[in-house]
Amino acid sequence: QLQASGGGLVQAGGSLRLSCTASGRPISNLRVGWFRQAPGKEREFVAAFSGSSRYADSVKGRFTASRDSALNTVYLQMNSLKPEDTAVYYCAVTQTIWSYLDDARRYTYWGQGTLVTVSS
């Protein structure tokens, strides 16, 4: 089971940190992805963490994924937020290979989503 949290309302240029906490399995054994879905748009890949990180071009240099194994949590630190980052953010886990980490269809378990709203 995955629990995503940390969303909220922030002004453009601000920061938020999202958390994805797993229960039932050590998160250090999992590949965790972050996706987002804005109103009227398809779900898109944001980042993935599996010891090392992979990012969508749209967030590279602004977002950072990390892990705290003791808390069984993966984080997504989001800096320099833009209005276009507004979306519901989801975390999910997969066992797929590195090349497919940006493919939502490869993920088997999803958290419930947390809303991020960036005002201009």
Q: What is the pLDDT of residues 3-19, one digit of tens each?
A: 999 999 999 999 999 99
- List the chain residues with pLDDT less than 50: none
Q: Residue 107 class from Cβ within 10 Å (0-12 exposed, 13-18 middle, 19+ buried)?
A: buried
> Which pLDDT value is given to residue 1?
87
Rg, Å, the chain Cα set: 13
Q: Which residues neighbour 107 within 8 Å (Cβ) at sequence distance 6 or greater? A: 33, 35, 92, 93, 94, 96
Which pLDDT score, from 0 to 100, does residue 58 have? 97
Alpha-carbon span 96 to 107, nearest angstrom: 8
